[in-house]
Each structure stands twice: as C-alpha cells, then as structure tokens.
Amino acid sequence: MLTNQKRPLEDDDIGENGPDPLLSLLHISPSDSTSTPTFYQTHFQRIADSLLNDFVLSIKTPTENIYYRLVEIEFYLRDNIHNHDDPFAHGQPMQSTCGQWYFHRRGNSYVGGSFKGFDLTFGRTYPPNVPSPYYNNISPPATALFRGGILIRSISRVQSFSTAHTLSTSSASLVEGPCKCVETIMKHLDCKTMSVKDLVDTHLNSNISAIPTDNGLLTLVKIPPISPETKKPRLTTNPTTSSPPRSPIYSTPRIGLYLRPSHENLSHRITYVTKPYRFLSLPSKILKTRGVLIAGLYQMLLSTSLPRKSDSESDESVLVRLTGMQKALVGKCLVAYKEGKEDGDPVKFVGDKLGSAEVVCKFVGAVDGWIEKRKEEEGIGEEVE
C-alpha cells in the first residue's frame, strides 16, 4: 500500500481488476495518439462521476470516523507527451504519484493562509529512454511529464458511513472552497496551529496515501452496495445488493483562472483557461462564482449533454431550474456569453479578474468563439490544443 512513498502507477499492476478500487479508478493508460482532443475529457468525466458518487472522504479521529462526500472537484494535468501540457497545473514532482494527497506548495514550502488546498494525485512516471507501443516506438524524452492533481473544492458531511450513499442537500453540511476543506480536516484532527506542515508531519504522521489502511487517517473509502433489506451499505458482496443512487454530475470551466499580462504563449493559455474540467453534483448549493456555473451549464446545453425536461423547455428555464438563480441574472449572463462568442476575442480580457457573473460569461463565450474560429481557419474537426 502507498504511504508517503512516491510510488508511480504502473500499467501492469493497476488495471480494471486491480486490488484497490481507487487506484483502478484513477488509472489512465497512455493515449495511443499524440493528439488527444477528447481523450482526457472522457477520462476526467469517468473519474469524477465515480469520485462524487462512489467514494467518501474518511477522517479518522481518536474518537470517531467522520465522513464527507466530495461534491466539487477540478482536474489539472501536465502531460507533455500527448499534447496536454496544461499551463494552469502545478506540475509538482509529487503529482507524478497516484492515489496520494498533495497539499499545495510553493517551492519546497506548504502554501498557507487563504491559499491552502489539496489534490488527489493521478500521475505516473515515464521510464526514460524506453521505447513503448504507446508512442509509436518513439522513446519518451527524459523531460517527459505526467503530473496530475484533482483539486478538492467542496465537500458535504454525511451523518455516518451507513448513510453515505445519501447526499445531503443541506447548506449546513456543505464546506465550500479548497482552503475551508483543508481547515475542516485540521479542525477534526485537532491541528491547533492550523499549519499545513504540522497537519501533514504530525497529525497525519506523514501518511499522505488516500488509500484506506489501518493507520491511514485521511482516505477515500468506496461506498459498498446497498442491501435492499436494510437500505444500508454492506461490506460483503451479495447478489441481493444494489448500487447506491447516483447524483447527476455537471461540468464547467475551472474556478479562478484568467489571463495575465505576464503570461507567455497566450494562445496556449486561452486553449486551457475555460476547459470544462470542473465537476460538481450540487449546482444549486455551490454559491461562489455563479457566472462560471451558468456558462458551463450553457456549454453542456449547446453540446446536448444536458437533458431538458421537455423539448419546449428554454435554455434560460433549464439554467434557472438547475441553479436556483434569478431568471433576470441568468438571462443577462446568456446574452453576455453570446456577445462574447460572436466577438471571439479573449485577448480583450487579459488582466481582467472577471469580477461579475456577466463578465465571466462573456469571457467564456469569447474563448469558445476564438476556438471555433481557429478550427475553421485550420480545418480542424476537433478542438484545438
């Protein structure tokens, strides 16, 4: 089992039938192509659906086990072999591991204050100078990177493990924001200094594996099937058990990303800045950055991946129903998105911190319009990388 050792995930020992469900879930075999427009989006969707429906975050204190469902996460990946070198990813060496907790760092020091956060890693280590069929017999260079992190943005407490399959819609159960998630863990583990270093080194005993073990204090536990007789999860396999009810998962652009004047290779940044790599299960309860939510759900509507109640349900009505936001605000945001898309010039937003919901939607629309124009100019049928 992984502890604090940087063990890479290997193709031959972690697969669909691997011994641990979390490692099996996080495993992404290398793409057989150097152009992967939808390859990672498909895998991120698969992983997110399971993390938000099938697992609970377990915090083991001296007196009790405390459980939370994940309700909002974001994916970040630097893979410079298969054309997915996300410039917004941390790309820290530790993110070459899989199934471990990466508490955010700046250099060799943990980030503190309101910038605290933690990821679930899903990386791998490329063997240097070893030909592989995945690369058409071309050896990965020594600088090959596959460093991935899933940012835990929001969690929702459940009363007990026996009720973990039921996701609470109460705002009182919700912990929203990466910093607050880390601080919640600190409080449960009695980390009075509120120092990330103290949390990791002392209270977690440097055990940063997310895989359940006897001495693991912060892990992701798979929710067992439900027994029809008791309506509670069962730890044993039984033909009469059934899968827990699943929450629909929604995707949007990630939070807090924008274009800075200091950014180099701006077109590369634009390609990634609004990728729908944020996934959430409670769209009406997540209160921050509502503009990103409206824009993302509208993107889902445009791609027909978001069902309507009926053919006559308007775009505006769908978004009001899912978000619980005022119709007037949703309407203004949709107008802003369409204006931005028609203009198709995200460069206008360089240096803009996107303070309002309408500005966010206009920016997302501008990026979508810019990408569509590049497709047309370059004759590309898939998204531009």
Higher pLDDT, 235 or 151: 151
* Same domain, residue pair 72 and 208: yes
Considering the domain boundaries, does residue 47 fall inside one?
Answer: yes
| Structure confidence at residue 72 as a pLDDT band (50, 70, 90) | very high
- Check if the beta carbon of residue 381 is closer than 8 Å to that of residue 358: no
| Structure confidence at residue 127 as a pLDDT band (50, 70, 90) | low
Render the burial of 197-217: b for 16+ CB within 10 Å, e for the rest. Answer: ebbbeebbeebbbbbbeeebb
| Structure confidence at residue 64 as a pLDDT band (50, 70, 90) | very high
Residue 197 predicted with pLDDT over 70: yes
pTM: 0.88
Considering the domain boundaries, does residue 285 fall inside one?
Answer: yes
pLDDT at 38: 84
Domain end (from 222, 238, 258): 222
Phi, psi of 152 (to 5 degrees): -85, 110
* Same domain, residue pair 48 and 168: yes
72 vs 9: CA distance, rounded Å: 25
**Mean pLDDT value of segment 97-124:** 95
73 vs 258: CA distance, rounded Å: 18
10 Å Cβ neighbour count for 307?
Answer: 11
How many distinct helices (H) and strands (E) make up the chain? 9, 12
Supply the mean pLDDT for the chain.
86
Residue 227 predicted with pLDDT over 90: no
Considering the domain boundaries, does residue 230 fall inside one?
Answer: no
Q: Alpha-carbon dihedral of residues 170, 53, 288, 117, nearest 10 degrees? A: 110
Residue 149 predicted with pLDDT over 70: yes
Total residue count of the chain as it appears in this document = 385
pLDDT at 101: 98
* Same domain, residue pair 209 and 261: no
| Structure confidence at residue 133 as a pLDDT band (50, 70, 90) | very low
